[in-house]
Amino acid sequence: MGLDFLTAPLIVASISVILSVIISVIDMIVNNYGEVKLSINSGKKILTVKGGSSLLSTLGEQDIFLPSACGGRATCGVCKIKVKSDVGPHLPTELPFISKEEMQENIRLSCQIKVKTDLELEIPEELFAIQKYSTTVTSIRDLTPDIKEIKCTLKDSQQIDFRAGQYAQFVVPPYGKIKQETQRAYSIASPPGKKSELDFIVRLVPGGIATTYVFTVLKEGDTLDIIAPLGDFQLHGEHEDMLCIAGGSGMAPIQAMLFDMFEKKINGRDIYYFFGVATSKDMFYLELFRDLEKKWPVFHFVPVIAAPDSGSGWKGETGLVTQPLEKYLNDKLPEDKPKQGYLCGSPGMIDACIKVLTTHGIAEDSIFYDKFA
């Protein structure tokens, strides 16, 4: 009996195996919720799905993409959805994101509730337009040392409908040391008139997972998956003068809006575009917009370089973007005409611009912005 020493490990191992088999069997029996019906917007759409997973991923499998920045870890609180059926009280993981009013309306975090029984849901119609598109990267171009322009074409001659100002989520596959799929939002820079080609402007964020991927891994000809269209930054009203203010890669949504208006020949309102960058080498698309200014009489382009190189011969505005903004508001713009602000850039820039605009009598509900951190 020289093999006695094997008894103990074998027995412990068998006990563990038996227990895990029992757990798996129970899991299969207990967590089999069978087919479950999801009725969306009082029966407008009825989906038959397999129960057992979270509502967010169940809907995702049915190609309904609720916005979710964190990917189902209950840290962003974006994937809210109205559930009309009773799915029990709110979970502790949901509470930080749900206000009292939302609680009464039974708004839930879709990543935290499990699909177990038939559910009645309410999903805003426009979310059905959100889809995952597969694209081919056709061009990657350096605009400045840390900003790249990405052009991509939708595969299989697909087309996308979106509003100028909306954004797309890049689906970044695992690469290098990054083991998990990541999603990051980038504004669409091309106007919605082009339905199968999309442009993006991506600034390198040091240490950023998605921007590092775009700058170091992504090549022309590669496939890039995006989820779009998302967001509610868009054109409002018809007659008010527009003050567009962007910093650096905040160019993207403003560019899309301006070219969209130009293509649609909207000439009833004056548009001032203040575009601010830090130094001479950070300036881009100068010719593009000067050209647009010549072709489109209502459009006025004001590029601003905070600290231009002394030898560059820069004749335009200098300083922070708020300084020429103030100057134009004081001297060059008709005081009596109603105005709107459209801002996109860093939180600091946006807050400073909102301050300037409100002190010049522009109401806060006429200021629209897309803040990126």
Please give the backbone phi and psi of residue 91, each rounded to the nearest 5 degrees, phi first: -80, 155
The residue behind tokens 């020289």 is 2
Please state, in angstroms and rounded to a whole number, the distance separating the CA atoms of residues 256 and 11: 68
Q: Which is nearer to other proteins, 92 or 206 (CB)?
A: 92
Count Cβ neighbours within 10 Å for each residue of 21-48 and write b for 16 or more, e otherwise.
Answer: eeeeeeeeeeeeeeebebbbeeeeeebe
If phi > 0 it is left, if psi is from -120 to 50 it is alpha, else beta; for residue 74 that is left
Please state, in angstroms and rounded to a whole number, the distance separating the CA atoms of residues 21 and 13: 12
Q: Side-chain half-sphere of 318: how many Cα atoms within 13 Å?
A: 10
Q: Which is nearer to other proteins, 33 or 328 (CB)?
A: 33
Q: Which residues bind other proteins (CB under 8 A)?
A: 7-8, 11-12, 15-16, 19-20, 22-23, 26-27, 30-31, 88-89, 92, 116
CB of 317 to other proteins, least distance (A): 57
Q: Which is nearer to other proteins, 32 or 312 (CB)?
A: 32
CB of 87 to other proteins, least distance (A): 9
CB of 15 to other proteins, least distance (A): 6
CA nearest neighbour of 253 among 275, 237, 283: 275
CB of 363 to other proteins, least distance (A): 46
Instruction: Find out whether 177 and 158 touch, Cβ atoms under 8 Å.
Output: no
Q: Which is nearer to other proteins, 30 or 373 (CB)?
A: 30
CB of 102 to other proteins, least distance (A): 19
Q: Which is nearer to other proteins, 23 or 307 (CB)?
A: 23
